[in-house]
Amino acid sequence: MEFTGIHHLTAVSSRISENYRFYTQVMGMRLVKRSVNQDDVSAYHLFYADAVGSPGTDLTFFDWKVPPEKRGTHSIIRTTLRVNGQAALEWWNEHLRGAGVATEGIHELDGRLTLRFEDPEGQRLALVDDGGAGDPPTPWDRSPVPPEHQVRGLGPIVMSVPELRMTDMVLTGVTNMRPVRRYADPDNPRNTVHVYEMGAGGPHAELHVAVQPELPVVRPGAGGVHHVAFRTPDEEQYHAWGRRLNELGVRNSGEVDRYYFRSLYFREPNGVLFEIATDGPGFAVDEDAATLGESVVLPPFLEPRRAAIVAGLKPID
């Protein structure tokens, strides 16, 4: 039993209108779901993805009015997005700089061409050449980014821990990820980044763990990451993961129905929040695919409260 890759990543924004403009107009991703945090209905939960919200393409944000993250370890420190080919990276380098976004330039990292940068709130991002690997996304025909250069989905997610041993035990002994290689930390070459892969491997199915003992403990906030979710293909395997966590004594949320997918949550030993999420039912379960993300949608259990919930939300566009 293995995860098949990264399902989605959820981060925090305190400036959600600016966030919406950046990810749709600069990054060219489609807003495929305009909903609320199901545990805090005062906050938007926005999902950016390919044209249809394919599993593995979702970068999502909670709209929380909180101070900026104080960076540190015990956290996810960079989110990678995939594009195909050096020409795409060169296009993005010029495009981002033209939009006023500073980049570090294209360089090779872990054997792949990579372009690192940050969003307007300091969310650490990177684009990586995936060589066409991973499930093919559905291009968005209204994106300002040409189809051949559009973001193809999530790539490796980088997390920071001060010490590897206990995290490694969970990754290999609980989630069945495989350690496959190491490379020098680009921010401090004295440190090492350990690469774990899942499923068939590839840039869409990797978790990179940077061992950074010199860093303080993170203080979560805007511009930081809340959690990363891993893909499980169906209900049968989802239930099996729940049984596995319980049998191994891993504290977890129990099964949670998010309506668009099913979830399980648990923390690895250094406190990073992991989610296991099913590929389906998907975002078109309650919206026409042609109008995804254009209006606020709520899961059925929140519909009776729609008027009060929507009244508490500010327009984002």
CATH number at residue 159: 3.10.180.10
Percent of the chain with pLDDT over 90: 99
Give yes or no for a contact between 245 and 95, defined as CB atoms under 8 angstroms apart: no
Q: How far apart are CA 25 and CA 28, in angstroms?
A: 5
At residue 275, the pLDDT reads 98
Q: How far apart are CA 86 and CA 90, in angstroms?
A: 6
Tokens of 104: 């570090």
Question: In angstroms, what CA-CA distances link 80 with 57, 127, 190, 208, 295?
Answer: 11, 6, 22, 11, 28
Judge if the upstream peptide bond of residue 281 is cis by omega within 30 degrees of 0: yes
Percent of the chain with pLDDT over 70: 100
- 21 part of a folded domain: yes
SS3 at position 300: helix
Taking all residues of the chain, what is their mean pLDDT, rounded to a whole number?
A: 97
Residues 6 or more apart whose CB falls under 8 angstroms from that of 126 comprise 78, 79, 80, 81, 114, 115, 116, 117, 155
Residues 241-249: what's their mean pLDDT? 98
Task: Give the pLDDT band (50/70/90) at residue 239.
Answer: very high
- 24 part of a folded domain: yes
Whether the full predicted model's pTM is greater than 0.95, yes or no, is yes
- 317 part of a folded domain: no
Task: Give the pLDDT band (50/70/90) at residue 317.
Answer: confident
The answer, yes or no, to whether residue 167 has pLDDT greater than 90, is yes
- 87 part of a folded domain: yes
Domain with 16, as residue range(s), is 6-311
Give yes or no for a contact between 63 and 46, defined as CB atoms under 8 angstroms apart: yes
**Residue that is written with structure tokens 């695919």 in the block:** 289
Select from 276, 157, 271 the least CA-distant residue to 209: 157
Could you tell me the end-to-end alpha-carbon distance of the chain, in angstroms, rounded to an integer? 42
At residue 76, the pLDDT reads 98
Residues 273-290: what's their mean pLDDT? 95
Task: Give the pLDDT band (50/70/90) at residue 7.
Answer: very high
Select from 40, 69, 77, 119 the least CA-distant residue to 222: 69
- 1 part of a folded domain: no
| pLDDT tens per residue across span 209-234 | 999 999 999 999 999 999 999 999 99
**Residue 210 bridge partners (DSSP):** 160, 193
| pLDDT tens per residue across span 190-208 | 999 999 999 999 999 999 9
- 163 part of a folded domain: yes
Residues 232-251: what's their mean pLDDT? 98
Q: How many domains does the chain have?
A: 1
The distance from CA 53 to its chain's CA centroid, rounded to whole angstroms, is: 13
Amino acid at 153: G
Q: How far apart are CA 101 and CA 121, in angstroms?
A: 11
The answer, yes or no, to whether residue 17 has pLDDT greater than 90, is yes
Q: How far apart are CA 23 and CA 17, in angstroms?
A: 10
Question: In angstroms, what CA-CA distances link 72 with 29, 52, 271?
Answer: 28, 34, 12
Higher pLDDT, 134 or 130: 130
Classify strands 75-83 and 124-129 as parallel, antiparallel or unpaired: parallel
Give yes or no for a contact between 16 and 3, defined as CB atoms under 8 angstroms apart: no
At residue 54, the pLDDT reads 97
Determine the Cα angle at 14 with ends 291 and 61, to 5°: 40
Give yes or no for a contact between 3 and 230, defined as CB atoms under 8 angstroms apart: yes
Question: In angstroms, what CA-CA distances link 83 with 26, 89, 147, 148?
Answer: 15, 7, 11, 9
The answer, yes or no, to whether residue 171 has pLDDT greater than 90, is yes
- 233 part of a folded domain: yes
